[in-house]
Structure 1
């Protein structure tokens, strides 16, 4: 006898769906609480150029913070409401600052302030050195800047976040944090055969302007403690962070060894050699005679490090060449001197923070910098010549003939590197240790232990033109009521200062490069708009010419053969006048219709973009949820069946 008892079905009341909804709500709240507790620092950067992903250099700076730093972000919300571009940029700055705080292990503290007009917060912004910008004619200013301070009350600020520097936002922020965490002014050592810090002999001769320090050294002293290093030094002092070696001639082996070991220990070297120093050629030697040799090189070190900077060749460039006086026998008064030129445009690296914002850099009788064949170093150009350049013998600029140089010029089609960053693990140029000293010279005590190679990748800046520093090629100095006022004509000083600054900031700042911009234009829309505008202008021109011809014919009909107004108009003329008027109305309608029709494609595309950005993603999520619900319902129905 089989069991025919039907299965017991439990009655479903109205409380079951409500209970399920309540359980889902509790689960959602619980997940949010857990995520806020354990995943507060989790980030997913879905931007194409990873705008919100901080580089390893920034993470290293933040990880090495020892003392607390307070950042105050002053942002006027009225600015974003009036100019949406600044609002979008402010969102990026704010999110990046929050990311800095989350990676600082509690060492960074962020305050976000809205300085209302005539408020105490506005007074704090002004006291911190921020720049107020008038938003309208009412005289009230808005602010968009950052002020930072450390425990020693040292302060650094970004006066106003300019959208033009958005590519270097991370560098600017990291540099501010780095300087606050390392408030001691870095030391810059200088080895040079040029009177960079002034020439006492020339000053004693009371020649106006002679003997003064180079303007670039005056700029460097604003950021560094500058210290001369003797040309016969056996060791570079330990407190020197950046060493500038500029046109250093006839260095002894002991000094080469000191520079080598400075680099092996991780010191930052800024080396400028020169195949022909125009600066030295214009200055007599201590005996009053012209310099016997105007070339310099560091081949003793460069050959071992995988770098080439030839001292017998000079780069000449037709683009940006300076106009100089021609020779006495030439018929022309001025001629392009190809050995003196200003590198500009695509000759300057736009990805390096030191050169990205510069307009031009002037070189004089410069040589090129190359990577030696087989070398493993990484050589990144900072400044190159243009494609209208070539390499000639240095002898042609030591006794220059600008007219002949121009007449014989044939561009080789290549771009020659004039200034570059060098990075890599280097072997010492002295594998056997310190060289022997000249007889009668005592070895300096407490020399650091010899290193046969660098412990990690080193960072150098190498250029083959020390005239980069010479005043007459980049600055004009004038007397203003007894004071010397320097006006830059080129960006040489800014480039040298920027490079020294990045080197002093260590590997963390050197590794930072240009990033993308958050404001991404709709290139397709722009192309369509430009194409529509071009086609509209062509059609508009034809219709306008037809309209003008019709109006001219109408005036002729109204005036008569002699040009005077007619008193009697025949029926035929009246009909022709009416036809001309109708033609004018029709032409004007066509003109408006062409403009409206040609813009329909742009407006349609913009509408679809708005729909996709605003409605498509929520619609897809909703459709996915509905589909998932239907699928689950079918599975349950199938299981019950």
Structure 2
């Protein structure tokens, strides 16, 4: 009896508290949302202020992670550099691939500026048509590209300057070179930080600078590769008997060294030991030398070059008595006796253009398409050598060594081809070599020859290289000669060179990369921000393979019917003469041929339409998946969470009643 009034007294109290608690809860909820908003803004402000330099690169190919070489270049900038990016947003709207590429360029530039400690100043411009910004972009030499017939140009280039008004530009960011974006930007910064033009010393017995030939002593022009080198680099000739390489030379190019004395070999060795960059071009048989008359008027028999003492010490294996032969890229030459001259594949002369033959990850070779060589040797890393041996140019797998004596004097391409047995391994024709190297002269300079005075040297002897040495070794000197990679023609008194191979670009690119710092040499290609639809591409290729055969059959039928129609229209009378009057049978045949042509063209259009429809259908499916699938998944997750919360609240609501009961 006493419990009844207590229950009745508590129920009204609960009813009077509920209306007061609701506004308080709403107030607390609003305050919580406001506090969360303030917290989010504060965290973002603090992160932007203190954590801007700390980033996480979650891309698959580490697109935004800079290499150690780039970081060292950025930290060593002595004076401020201003970098101006000119980008037309219309280019990204019309061609989306450029929008993604532009985003990557901007992000990478911000990363450069953050690591440079204020020494890189960034400026971004939107060039409008006929504006001052467009005029400045053109004045820097940036490339404007028309997007339609109105003549309006879009820009996507970069211009950078230092305090000395030195300029470096990237006229237009080509998507094909996106893999080398970091190298190009770092190279630009390095050149503005070190404006001195690199000097390349050339030591060779080949007539790369031209020579006096013939009984009248007429001069021959320089080789095209030498002309290109002088356009981009400061080139200085170095004597073959030099005792010390000049200290101002950054890169030494030694091409086809023959009979070099110990003093000269010691000079090359010490140049590498003190940090100089070396391009060594060897050859088991120089076709250029074999085609030139010797002192007695006959070609010389000694056509091989080698530096065994240096190569063995530095860990590179090379045999001057072996030539690389390649069946896949063999050049066709005329061979045989006078009565039976025929075209034969000469395996000792070949081009490298197949997949995997040219290193696509190296900035010097990444965009080259074809290299031509003649009687080339091959290289390898010696067992146990502590060097990094990176192939740049290789043969195809259908290659094998050929004794060099078979290509010297009077080679027989037919016999060489008949005896050639290709293996299943690529041979390395050119390679980068890096590592700490010992000197080939550990006991110091070689003694002077009897009766000769010891040469004066300004540099002390070094028994090991100062840090990692950087070399490029090429096993063919004939890739430098004009006839193997370029056609030179006279055009109204001027010599015009038309390359059919990338030999000249290979040499200039290698010298260019060697002339940079060690940080630049260590840079390699990166991934691309473009992620193609591989499934779409595979379906496109399969669809084309399925439909092209039918399309070709219909096209052939169409051509045959049209030819028949032309014959019927001409008409023929007696004695095979043309008759302008057509018989009813001929008219009926013409009408049938026309109907056949219309039907064939209709089927051809249907085939082409089916080809496009299947590809477009897949693209539509992928778009719907990207646009619809993700929101649907999020909505389903939200619905599931909602049901879970409702059930959880219902369960909690029942718990007090069960306890009261």
TM-score class, shorter: 0.7 to 0.9
The verdict on how the C-alpha distance between 1:182 and 1:19 changes in structure 2, with shifts beyond 3 A counting, is same
Task: Please state whether the residue corresponding to 2:364 is helix, strand or coil.
Answer: coil
Q: Does 1:323 align with 2:332?
A: yes
Distance 1:289-1:602 versus aligned 2 partners, 3 A rule: closer
Q: 2:489 aligns with which of 475, 478, 491?
A: 478
Shift in CA distance, 515/204, structure 1 to aligned 2, threshold 3 Å: farther
Residue range with higher mean Cα deviation, 119-128 or 513-522: 513-522
- Quickly say closer, same or farther: Cα 1:203–1:160, change in 2 above 3 A: farther
- Tell whether 2:225 aligns with 1:216: yes
Structure 1, unaligned runs of 5 or more: 544-561, 566-587
339, 342, 348: which one pairs with 2:348? 339
* Distance of aligned partners of 1:631 and 1:497 in 2 relative to their CA distance in 1, 3 Å threshold: farther
The reply to whether residue 367 of structure 1 matches residue 383 of structure 2 is: no
Given that 1:203 and 1:211 are in contact with CA atoms closer than 8 Å, whether structure 2 keeps it comes out as no
Counterpart in the other structure of 1:558? none
Distance apart, 1:303 and its partner CA: 0.5
Moved more, 282-291 or 185-194: 282-291
Is the Cα–Cα contact under 8 Å of residues 279 and 467 in structure 1 kept in the other structure?
yes
Alignment match, 1:611: 628
Deviation per CA, 1:159-194, whole angstroms, max 9, x where unpaired? 111111111111111111111111111010111121
CA contact (8 A) 1:273 1:309 kept: no
Whether the 8 Å contact between 1:100 and 1:108 is mirrored in structure 2 is yes
- The residue that corresponds to 2:444 in the other structure is 433
182-191 or 406-415, which moves further after superposition?
A: 406-415
For normalisation by structure 2, the TM-score amounts to 0.82
Change in 2 beyond 3 A, CA 1:349/1:630: farther
Q: Equivalent residue for 1:379?
A: 389
Q: Specify every segment of 5 or more residues in structure 2 that has no aligned partner in the other structure, as ranges.
A: 1-5, 555-584, 589-604
- Cα distance in 1 for residues equivalent to 2:500 and 2:320: 28
Q: 1 CA distance for matches of 2:549 and 2:276?
A: 63
Q: Deviations over 1:403-446 (max 9, x none)?
A: 22122222122211111111122111111111111133333434
State the match for 1:580 in structure 2: none
Aligned-partner Cα distance in 2 for 1:598–1:220:
48
Equivalent pair of 1:529/1:602 in contact (CA under 8 Å):
no
- The match for 2:269 is 260
- Mapped pair 1:58 → 2:74: no
Checking the alignment, whether the CA contact within 8 Å between 1:525 and 1:605 is kept in structure 2 is: no
User: Are residue 227 (structure 1) and residue 236 (structure 2) matched?
Assistant: yes
CA distance in 1, matches of 2:624, 2:373: 52
Answering whether residue 456 of structure 2 is matched by residue 442 of structure 1, we say no
State the secondary structure of the residue aligned to 1:610: helix
| 1:103 aligns to 2:103 (yes or no) | no
Which of 395, 410, 418 matches 2:405? 395
Contact 1:273–1:466 (Cα < 8 Å) also in 2: yes
Aligned residues: 597
Aligned residue for 2:61, secondary structure, equals coil
Q: Is the 8 A contact 1:128 1:147 kept in 2?
A: yes
Query: Structure 1 residues 600 and 183, CA, compared in 2 at 3 Å: closer, same or farther?
Result: closer
Q: Tell me whether 1:251 sits opposite 2:260 in the alignment.
A: yes
Residues 1:238 and 1:592: Cα distance change in structure 2 (over 3 Å):
closer
CA distance in 2, matches of 1:603, 1:426: 59
Against the structure 1 CA distance between its residues 632 and 239, is the aligned structure 2 distance closer, same or farther, given a 3 Å change threshold?
farther
Matched residue, 1:70 = 82
Pairs within 5 Å for 1:29-68: 29-68=41-80
Give the structure-1-normalised TM-score. 0.84
- The CA RMSD measured in Å over matched residues stands at 3.6
Determine helix, strand or coil for the equivalent of 1:235: coil
Q: Structure 1 residues 81 and 299 mapped into 2: Cα distance closer, same or farther (>3 Å)? A: same
